[in-house]
Amino acid sequence: MELFHKMAASGRKQLLESEVYSLLDGLGITPAAHFTWHPSTDLIQLSKSPKTAAMEKALAALPGNQAVIKIQSPDILHKTEAGGIAVCPKDPKTVRSVGRAMWDHISKTSSTAALINLLIVEKVEFNRDLGHELLLGWRWDRAFGPTIVLGPGGLLTEWFDSVSGGSTLSIFSADTFDREAIRGRLLEHAAMKVFCSPSRLYKKPPIPIEPLLDLLEKLVPLGAAVDSADDGWSLAELEINPLVVTACGRILPLDGVARIDQQKPLPPARPLSKVKNLLYPKSAVVLGVSSKGLNPGRFILRNLIAGEGIENSKLYTLHPSEQEIDGIPCYPTVADLPEKVDMSVVSVPAEGAVEMIRDLTEQEKTESIILIPGGFNERGREDLADAIKQILRDSRRRPDKGPVMIGGNCLGIVSRDQYNTFFLPEYKLPYRGGRGKNLAVISQSGAYLVTFSSNFDGIIFPKANISYGNEMDLTAADLLEYYLEYEPEVRTLACYVEGFQPGDGRRYLRLARRLHEAGRTLILFKVGRTPLGAKAAQSHTASMAGDYKIAGTLLKAEGVVMAETLNEYEDAVQIFTLLEDRRPKGRKVGVISNAGFECSSVMDHFYDMEAAEFSNKTVKRIEEHLPDIAHCKNPVDATPMAATPAFLGAVEAMIEDGGVDALIVSAVPVTPALDTLAPHPGGGHPEDITQEKSYPQGLIRLFKKTNKPMVFTVDAGELYDPMVKMMQAAGLPVYRKIDRASRALAAFCRR
């Protein structure tokens, strides 16, 4: 756009309000009638015309009896605070007088601001009651691309956002503008219902939904304009606040701000088929192995030797003087390696890593690289990171597209039944099997993967744990796309993301949609909930619709299971991994516990599930099993007196009820009526959970007899850990609080 080129050449990024109106007019969005006037020259510029006009004629074209005068300066964003807005009668003498007084005042109080001219706008009459002023924003998010934001507008915009905890905004991707889906979301949104639906306050919607959707749709082409900008200078943000409905039914923008920015070109695509070399290598070299001590490189080499995926005859290392280390041959330089390997693990300090990667890449000695060390961007050495990125980007011009790389600042990969590059001793972090061949965990944080692996040791062992670090090459979206295209047997992908690379969130949305359509599950924990620095943002849209809010809203709309906490994330991973082969037929859930507090508290945290209504036959069966004082309708309170056979009998009756789609089974295990303890080595008690008649063994049998989703709760201390481990090892999702079990089941039933 010519205007943007001129602005960039002059160093100006902020559009004037009159320029915003011209932009809107070009999109088919009619602004309020207006013209510009310079107090010093008395020059008047009409909108939609290069011609000038007399003040009398220009004012006569404005509807109504009053005019609004606004200062125009790229340096003054908040006109009210600067004294840059006034309302006056619509006669030339008064407008000139008020306008010149405003100009003189701001010239003195904001002496560093560049004053361009004054904007004279029609005074629009509209209802200022709640529900009649909207904020409409469009922004080019660096990760997610074109994004539309809609919410309550006017002077109380930020107040609404703060008191609602940020829930007043509706956020949409302009890439995937689906009119019907957006209509549904607006009509279901608690805040937007006030605007778009009849209510006790308004018999008719204050803002009709169809014209509003028409207006939103007119913003969609802005994204294509950014994509096609030849020099990168394009619209970065546009905000209308307020957007109102006039007495005659017109939807009008009454104020607007916008800015431009230069978008950097995205790096060339990575050859994702080579991720297979990274995950299932048949040959490898480790760089940075000490011959004298156990440095990270030595740990990694020993882990590769112990792994199943690479034969020792296909393992190599580099060392200037040693012939072999731990039985693995050493070579003095990269050039001396006997073959092109599938994977290279670079575990040398950041300063030396650049040349190592240059040699591996330019001499075509590897298909993939794991860069272990930190010390790049996070230590202010962007120059080292940029050098590595450029080496890899240059290799993309080759016929083989060069190697792919994860890292730096990562632990690498634990590829199940293949290898482990985590430089930790096995006695500190063992991998002792478990379910999980349908799961891949992709984490920007290596330390988090360590805690995840330890927490689920012997219960869940993913097909791959990938610590991808700083994303110098392969990104979160690359890894997601690899699993979508190349490994359909991985049904659940769990991702811990600290941030998205430019353009990567946009890809992530498209990939998430395809995964959801294929019946696969994407679970995401995104850090960055606290909007530090939002006060310095230039607009309401940027400050209120921050990175986390945009990511969470857009991804959730594509079927992603968004976890608000790490507990919620791991709870979701557990249920989606262990119950992968069980599909809920509905959301009617049966609950049983032997504690009244659990029955009460779980119903307060039932989310969008429904309490199943048992058939008379089921109620009768439950009554036959449980004590007389038990409550035998949903939720079932079996009481602490219910013994193991009685409790299991009630659970079986619930399973066999056709009106029950899923179950929450919980029992406080401390009651003597249930055998829930591991055998005491000294014979201190008679319980033995390894016996067939025990409570956990009975639950395992019932779980395996049905295909209905079931979750379990054991709310007690470490004395009952053996029972929990036994149940989880058998594939039962077990939680230590019933509300966590309920939350996980609700997420599972939504898919």
pTM (2 decimals)?
0.91
pLDDT at residue 529 in the model: 66
String of DSSP letters for 415-462: ETTTEE---S-TTTS-----B-TTEEEEES-HHHHHHHHHHTTTTB--
How many other β-carbons are positioned within 10 Å of the β-carbon of residue 354?
21
Mean pLDDT over residues 622-644, rounded?
97
Amino acid making up residue 246: T
pLDDT tier at 52 (50, 70, 90 boundaries)? low
What is the average pLDDT value for the chain, to the nearest integer? Answer: 93
CATH number at residue 715: 3.40.50.261
pLDDT at residue 534 in the model: 31
- Given 265, 291, 308, the domain boundary residue is 265
Same domain, 240 and 295: no
pLDDT of 156 strictly over 70 = yes
pLDDT of 344 strictly over 60 = yes
Q: Which helix (H) or strand (E) holds 592?
A: strand 588-593
CATH number at residue 504: 3.40.50.720
The answer to whether position 537 is within a domain reads no
The answer to whether position 679 is within a domain reads yes
pLDDT of 50 strictly over 80 = no
Mean pLDDT over residues 315-324, rounded?
96
Amino acid making up residue 542: A
Rounded distance between C-alpha atoms, residue 346 and residue 29, angstroms: 55
Which 8-state DSSP code applies to residue 31?
A: -
Task: Tell me the two tokens of residue 420.
Answer: 């482990």
The answer to whether position 535 is within a domain reads no
pLDDT per residue over 473-496, tens digit each?
999 999 999 999 999 999 999 999
pLDDT of 230 strictly over 90 = no
pLDDT of 546 strictly over 80 = no
pLDDT at residue 536 in the model: 33
Mean pLDDT over residues 463-477, rounded?
97
Task: Tell me the two tokens of residue 651.
Answer: 């659970």
pLDDT at residue 15 in the model: 95
Please give the residue range of the domain that contains residue 651.
588-750
3-class secondary structure, 528:
coil
Same domain, 303 and 291: yes
The answer to whether position 310 is within a domain reads yes
The answer to whether position 557 is within a domain reads no
| CA angle, residues 385, 387, 391, in degrees to nearest 5 | 120
Q: Which of 702, 593, 709 is nearest to 652 (CA)?
A: 702
Structurally, how many domains does the chain consist of?
A: 4
- Percentage of residues in the chain with pLDDT exceeding 90? 81
The answer to whether position 130 is within a domain reads yes
pLDDT tier at 539 (50, 70, 90 boundaries)? very low
Same domain, 570 and 435: yes
On the 0-12 / 13-18 / 19+ scale of CB atoms within 10 A, 608 is: exposed
Rounded distance between C-alpha atoms, residue 408 and residue 527, angstroms: 19
Same domain, 250 and 347: no
The answer to whether position 349 is within a domain reads yes
Same domain, 155 and 256: yes
Same domain, 115 and 143: no
pLDDT of 544 strictly over 50 = no
pLDDT per residue over 671-696, tens digit each?
999 999 999 998 899 999 999 999 99
CATH number at residue 142: 3.30.470.20
- Given 265, 294, 329, the domain boundary residue is 265
- Given 241, 265, 289, the domain boundary residue is 265
pLDDT at residue 540 in the model: 43
pLDDT at residue 446 in the model: 94
Mean pLDDT over residues 399-428, rounded?
95
Listed in sequence order, the residues at least 6 apart from 132 whose beta carbon sits closer than 8 Å to its beta carbon are: 126, 195, 206, 207, 244, 245
Same domain, 597 and 517: no
Same domain, 214 and 302: no
Same domain, 627 and 640: yes
Which has more confidence, 184 or 229?
184
pLDDT per residue over 53-81, tens digit each?
788 889 999 999 999 999 999 999 889 88
Same domain, 292 and 328: yes
Q: Which of 211, 208, 145, 214 is nearest to 176 (CA)?
A: 145
pLDDT at residue 531 in the model: 52
pLDDT per residue over 569-623, tens digit each?
999 999 999 999 998 999 999 999 999 999 999 999 999 999 999 999 999 999 9
The answer to whether position 690 is within a domain reads yes
Same domain, 427 and 569: yes
pLDDT tier at 204 (50, 70, 90 boundaries)? confident
State how far Cα 54 lies from the chain centre. 54
pLDDT at residue 541 in the model: 42
Same domain, 292 and 251: no
pLDDT of 140 strictly over 70 = yes
